[in-house]
Structure 1
Amino acid sequence: MTDESVEETPVAKPVLRVVKGDLTPEELAALVAVIAARNAAAAHAASRTKVAPRSQWGHPSRVARTPHRFGPGQWRSSALGG
């Protein structure tokens, strides 16, 4: 009797591969910890360099108004700032 219902799980590609040398499990754990800490520090530094967009609500240019223009329909455009 063959069991055809067993599905093979896809094998993930290794993230880190030791090419040369024979590492003990402790040395490999230390290497992984150092690389993970370095990547976490780089990701943290990258996230801190993003500048949030500044609100233009309190910008000094909002205080300066354009002069009122006289003429037909200008009262409408005065509310639009143009």
Structure 2
Amino acid sequence: MTIKVVRGNPTPEELAAALAVVRARAAAASAEPSGAPAPRDSWSDPSRIAAHSVPRPGPVSWSRTYWPA
């Protein structure tokens, strides 16, 4: 890995701090599992909202949509 200073004149301490940040970010990125999805929280699971199937309307249900039962 090569780091090049494009502008300015940083001190050796500033370069060391910037390199430490870059290395820490690279180590954190390589430590994360790349292919495994994160576990889903039960609150964000859409199947909890529709846990049971909605009953299908019958052949004459269209006539009962307006009139109270």
Q: Which of the five TM-score ranges fits, normalised by the shorter chain?
A: 0.3 to 0.5
Larger Rg: 1
Q: Which has the higher contact order (CA 8 A, sep 6+)?
A: 1
TM-score (norm 1): 0.40
Q: If the length of structure 2 is used for normalisation, what is the TM-score?
A: 0.47
